[in-house]
Structure 1
Amino acid sequence: MDIKGKTVFITGGATGIGLETAKKFIAEGANVVIYSHGATSSEAMTLPIDRTLVIEGDVCDRAQVALAIAEAKKRFGGIDVLINNAGVAQRKRFADTTEAEWQSMVNVNLGGMFIVTQEALKSMDTGVAETDHDGCTVKRKCIINISSGAGLCGIPELAVYSATKAGVIAFTQALSAELVQSGIDVITITPGSVGTNMFKELFKGTEAHHTPADVAEVIYKTVIGEMKPDNRLIVDTFYHQRV
């Protein structure tokens, strides 16, 4: 995919991986929509105003999401790339976790992805998919869902977070199969220890092996087709390890 002039919609883009991903796509010529809690009081507001639309909102609120996507379409046209990056986490013994804490993580990490993806697909409809000379469907749109290494291996005191991130992986694989003939690619990225504020809070005193910019580079290369997924999942060797 040639990203120049394309529109990239990023949830949770005010900090960390989302913000660095926004910077990367802008640098490569894309238009970027950042949809996030705290977006209008974040570093995102310093990005080039001609190529960036920053919207404060909640991924769990369908009306807000629909309005944000409508604004994105009005400003830049339909969405070409959706990056479901918004997420929350809490490190706590499972026996001490409340139902409200469970529901909060499920609502954001899975429910938010569900709502945003449904609404974004209305703006990503490619109609009849094209095929190349080999008869393969040409992928002209892309959905990237950010999971976590915690969704692949057990990490103590992250049972709920791990469950939601494993759900992201399964959701991606199923949706990819459903949209296989549509020209929309659906792929999961599963970062391990990345030096985000969330990681530093969850694993105090633990050194991260990657930076948010490292993950942004993986996301970008995946979208443009330089990195190929295995069963709709991109994982490097470190991501299989426990932090």
Structure 2
Amino acid sequence: MTQQAVSLFTALAGRHAVVTGGGSGIGAAIATTLAAQGARVTVLGRRLEALQAVVAAHPGAMQAVAADITDAAQVDAAFAQARAQFGAIDILVNNAGQAHSAPFAKTDLALWQQMLDVNLTGTFVCTQAALGDMLTARWGRIVNVASTAGLVGYAYVAAYVAAKHGVIGLTKALALEVAKKGITVNAVCPGYTETEILRESIANVVAKTGRSEEDARAEFAKGNPQGRIVQPQEVADTVAWLCLPGSAAIHGQSIAVCGGEVMA
């Protein structure tokens, strides 16, 4: 094993990372990748059983904490619980999110508010809960998992698009505030990725149009110039790179992981 490979396995040794929505899909891949680089990882989400399944594969390196990220009191209690075991928080990955589709005229206020609460307000609440530790240490990494929907517009998901645009705006604003304090703030913007959200979207297309699952999947893939669906590990590798000490100059950026669907 090369020295470079050895250093990668210990690049985040001693760092405490919190990953929201860590029980499945992209979140589980991120948590596993950060643990492989030496971090102690708290996976946080609403479904404790799913979180515990991720933790079980990494005994000692991970812990599971349940909380609804839209509830500030639950978040504060969860972050206090996380600190009790693994210490101050060095890395925060705001991954938790939801996506529901509806034509704009049929998007009611409840759906609009739900998309904002989970995707935007949850990111705000968790960031406020973690930022104090990073300011004290004068070192930190905040990575917000947004979406290509935060970079461009998509039909029939207006509330989700608005929320993810908000996440990118929040990323830029906070990045300016903490630029000289040893903390980096970035967003990662996946295209359609092999997750539970995508599978639900495909099932929705099948149910509403009568198309086959294969045809529906191809429709989602065709917007990617590579002609495929992004894999969770590809997103996780990008997030982990942004958390490395050597990525300190990458700041305030929104990095698309989408096979060229969106180009800067």
TM range, smaller chain: 0.7 to 0.9
TM-fit CA distance, 1:110 = 0.9
For residues 161-200 of structure 1, what are the structure 2 equivalents within 5 Å? 161-200=160-199
Superposed, which structure 2 residues align to 1:9-158 within 5 Å?
9-42=18-51, 43-126=53-136, 129=138, 140-158=139-157
* One-letter identity of the residue aligned with 2:12: I
User: TM-score under structure 1 normalisation?
Assistant: 0.88
Instruction: Tell me which amino acid in the other structure corresponds to 1:168.
Output: V
Q: Is the 8 A contact 1:153 1:240 kept in 2?
A: no
Q: 8 Å contact 2:171–2:185 — kept in the other structure?
A: yes
Residue in 2 that maps onto 1:136: none
Q: Please provide the CA RMSD for this pair.
A: 2.1
1:210 aligns with one of 230, 242, 250: 230
Structure-1 separation of matches of 2:260 and 2:148: 5
5+ residue gaps, structure 1: 130-139
Q: State the structure with more CA Rg.
A: 2
TM-fit CA distance, 1:230: 7.2
CA contact (8 A) 1:9 1:83 kept: yes
2:242 to 203, 222, 227: 222
Q: How many residues align?
A: 231
Gap change, CA 1:120 and 1:230, over 3 Å in 2: closer
Q: Distance in 2 between matches of 1:212 and 1:148?
A: 13
Change (3 A) 1:237 1:27: closer
Q: Secondary structure at the match of 2:190?
A: coil
Displacement of 1:150 in angstroms is 0.9
User: 1:64 and 1:118 mapped to 2: Cα distance?
Assistant: 13
Residues 175, 252 of structure 2: 8 Å contact kept: no
Structure 2: runs of 5 or more not aligned: 1-9, 204-215, 222-227
User: Which secondary structure does the structure 1 equivalent of 2:63 belong to?
Assistant: strand
Asked if structure 2 preserves the Cα contact closer than 8 Å seen for 1:39 and 1:45, the reply is: no
2:237 is aligned with what amino acid? E
Higher percent of residues as helix: 2
Q: Tell me the SS of whatever aligns to 2:113.
A: helix
